[in-house]
Copies of this chain bind each other. A is one copy, B any other.
C-alpha cells in the first residue's frame, strides 16, 4: 500500500482524525510520481487535483500575452500545489505546475475532496485553516511587492526560503521576485561587495 503518512502527519498537526476518518481519507487520495520537467497541471486545462508534495519540487508559472513566463510560486516537501482559482471553480487554469525535480505528490481530486468534506467535517476546518494561512502569506507578499526594493525582496526570500533558493536556478527566483535574471545577478554581486 502507498504511504500517505506525510499527509496524515500534516493534517493531524491541525485537526485530530480518528482511525476511521484516516481510512476514508486514504481511500480517496492517490500517489503520483512525476519526472523532472513533467507537468502536474497545464494552463488552460481544468485543475482536477490538488497536490501535496511529498518529495521533490514544483514551480507554478504562467505565460503572458507577450510569451513571457512569470513564476507565481514554488512548492517543496509539505507544501500544497494547484491552481486554486481553477480548482474551486473547475474552470480553465491560469497557471502551469511543472516539476523542477523528480517529484512525488499525494493528490486529491476535486470531486473526492467535496466528498471528503461531506464525510469528515474536521477536514472542513483543516482546509479553512490552511487556506487562511495561504491567504495571509499572499497578502504579505503583495505588501512586500508594494513597499520593498528588489534587493530587499531578494534578501527576504533568501532568509525565509533558504532551502528553496539552493535547489532552484537563479533565473526562476528572479522571475518569482518580479525582476530579470540580469538584475538579480547585479544585486548578488553588490551584496558580495558589501560584506
Contact = CB atoms under 8 A, between A and B. Distances in A.
Contact of A124 (B70, B85, B128): B128
A124 B68 CA distance: 39
Contact of A145 (B85, B94, B140, B178): B178
Interface stretch (A5-13, A129-137, A181-189): A129-137
A142 B138 contact: yes
State the copy count for this chain.
2
A127 B128 CA distance: 7
Interface in A143-174: 143, 145-147
Interface residues of A, number: 31
A34 interface: no
Interface in A12-65: 62, 64
B139 A88 contact: no
Contacts of A128: 124, 127-128, 131
Interface string A108-124: 00000000010001001
Contacts of A85: 136, 139-140
Contacts of A138: 135, 138-139, 142
Interface of A: 62, 64, 68, 70, 72, 84-85, 88, 94, 117, 121, 124-125, 127-128, 131-136, 138-143, 145-147, 178
